[in-house]
């Protein structure tokens, strides 16, 4: 059910990456939009630990089954299903949108594999950035504009939050707190419940067995609050399931066998 960001060279959402510079993009501008087409059909969006409390009010938060688990906000329980954005990318209701999605089409990336320096890049296939007469200019007199600097700062904050999220997940793995998840949802009128797997969740039994000093440290550094935000968010599984059914996006009950 849940998948990590694409393992290809480019992260999820991005079809290409180009470094932003004042020479080639002196007259370019960034536009806003009410239709986020990059969200269409995206059922799982990466989440930073700092977003857990906000996201837990709307989505189930799970962890990917990849070698390095990634926190994910589930917007649908089936691949290709997003119950919070329609087929045109329009948000169906006001809910928290993960920073990973809000930073698109920009991101920080290494231009040289042997360097740790990150540069502000963008997806040139997006229609949100271009040589437009309207929108927020990215450069003024050859220098980054306020809008450009704000975007750079947002992306920097996201990268820093990503490092803290990795440290949080590493602690969960260190204490063997992640287990393979399974959710069973019984739909009215269907005898067989729907089972959802393919994600990780926190093992509450192992959480209860943690030593007191470990729990105390987790409470002091804020990890325990994140753990409980994740656990409470799982109550939204049935709500997202209901949204799928209401929107006609499945799941489809199995037909009875015929002779």
The domain total for the chain is 1
Residue 90: helix, strand or coil by DSSP? strand
Tell me the pLDDT band of 193, cut-offs 50, 70 and 90: confident
Tell whether 129 is covered by a domain.
yes
Tell whether 23 is covered by a domain.
yes
Phi, psi of 110 (to 5 degrees): -80, 130
Tell me the pLDDT band of 1, cut-offs 50, 70 and 90: low
Tell whether 9 is covered by a domain.
no
- 35-54 pLDDT, tens digit per residue, is 999 999 999 999 999 999 99
Tell whether 101 is covered by a domain.
yes
Tell whether 2 is covered by a domain.
no
Tell whether 230 is covered by a domain.
yes
If one counts every other C-beta atom within 10 angstroms of the C-beta of residue 231, the result is 15
Q: What is the C-alpha separation between 177 and 170, in angstroms, rounded? A: 10
Tell whether 255 is covered by a domain.
no
> Does 185 score more than 90 pLDDT?
no
Instruction: Note the helical H segments in 44-145.
Output: 52-55, 99-102
Tell me the pLDDT band of 110, cut-offs 50, 70 and 90: confident
Q: Kindly state the tokens that stand for 181.
A: 């998840």
Please indicate whether residue 106 or residue 182 has the higher confidence score (pLDDT). 106
The whole-number average pLDDT for the span 12-17 is 94
Range of the domain at 145: 18-246
By CB neighbour count within 10 A (0-12 exposed, 13-18 middle, 19+ buried), where does 152 fall? middle
pTM here is: 0.88
| Residues 156, 40, 32: CA angle, nearest 5 degrees | 50
* Mean pLDDT of the chain, nearest integer: 90
- 73-96 pLDDT, tens digit per residue, is 999 999 999 999 999 999 999 999
Tell whether 13 is covered by a domain.
no
Q: What is the DSSP string of 18-53?
A: EE--TTTSTT-EE---SB-GGGTT--EEE--GGGHH
């Amino acid at each position: 059910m849940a998948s990590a960001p694409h393992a290809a060279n480019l992260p999820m959402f991005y079809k290409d990456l180009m470094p932003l510079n004042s020479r080639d993009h002196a007259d370019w501008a960034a536009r806003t939009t009410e239709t986020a087409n990059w969200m269409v059909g995206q059922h799982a969006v990466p989440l930073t630990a700092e977003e857990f409390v906000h996201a837990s009010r709307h989505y189930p938060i799970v962890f990917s089954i990849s070698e390095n688990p990634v926190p994910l906000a589930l917007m649908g329980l089936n691949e290709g299903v997003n119950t919070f954005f329609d087929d045109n990318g329009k948000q169906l209701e006001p809910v928290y949108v993960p920073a990973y999605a809000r930073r698109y089409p920009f991101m920080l990336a290494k231009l040289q594999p042997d360097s740790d320096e990150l540069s502000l890049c963008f997806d040139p296939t997006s229609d949100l950035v271009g040589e437009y007469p309207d929108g927020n200019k990215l450069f003024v007199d050859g220098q980054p504009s306020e809008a450009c600097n704000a975007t750079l700062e947002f992306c920097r904050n996201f990268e820093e939050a990503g490092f803290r999220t990795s440290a949080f997940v590493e602690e969960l793995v260190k204490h063997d707190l992640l287990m393979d998840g399974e959710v069973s949802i019984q739909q009215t009128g269907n005898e067989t419940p729907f089972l959802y797997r393919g994600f990780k969740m926190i093992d509450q039994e192992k959480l209860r067995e943690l030593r007191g000093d470990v729990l105390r440290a987790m409470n002091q550094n804020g990890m325990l609050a994140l753990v409980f935000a994740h656990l409470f968010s799982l109550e939204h599984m049935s709500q997202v399931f209901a949204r799928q059914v209401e929107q006609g996006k499945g799941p489809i009950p199995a037909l009875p066998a015929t002779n």
